Amino acid sequence: MTIMDVNQIRQILPHRYPFLLVDRIIEMDETHIVGIKNVTANEPFFQGHFPEFPVMPGVLIVEAMAQTAGVQVLASIPDRHNKLVFLVSVDAARFRKPVVPGDQLRIEMRVTRRKGTVAKMAGQVTVDGVLVAEAEVMCKLEDKVAETAAL
Does the active-site annotation cover 49?
Answer: yes
- Partners of 130 in the beta sheet? 127
Give the three-class secondary structure for 85.
strand
Q: Where are the alpha helices (DSSP H) in 4-139?
A: 6-12, 58-75
Per DSSP bridges, beta strands 118-127 and 104-115 are: antiparallel
Q: Which of 15, 32, 49, 81 is catalytic?
A: 49
Instruction: Give the span between the Cα atoms of 125 and 146, in whole angstroms.
Output: 35
Residue 56 near residue 100 (C-beta atoms within 8 A): yes
Give the residue numbers marked as catalytic: 49
